[in-house]
Amino acid sequence: MIASANEKGGDDHDGPDGDCGNPPSGAGQPATARPTPEKERIICKRQVETGSLVRSTKTCLTAKQWQRVREETQRAYDQMNRRMSGERGG
């Protein structure tokens, strides 16, 4: 589900907004094809590895997958906060 690659420099095809510019499928479709829906657009993000100033990982997901990652991260953060404060739940 998550496509990532270790980057050591070289080609960087990210657009100005982090968009790779590559549709997830049907790259060879004619120009008359419908535009890619927003939730299916591929967005690539580069994250610097902890402890390194140079090494980074590039991860490309659809907008819908990035939303799921945000939700899961928020859920884990909230759960950890509840444990640290002594609340029950989760």
- pLDDT at residue number 9: 43
From start to end of the chain, where are the E strands?
3-7, 42-48, 56-62
pLDDT digits (tens, 9 = 90+) for 6-51: 444 444 445 445 555 555 555 555 556 667 677 789 999 999 999 9
pLDDT confidence of residue 80: 96
pLDDT of the residue at 86 = 82
pLDDT at 60 over 90: yes
Query: Domain map of the chain by residue range?
Result: 15-20+38-84
- Angstrom distances, CA of residue 28 to CA of 31, 42, 63: 9, 16, 21
pLDDT for 38 equals 74
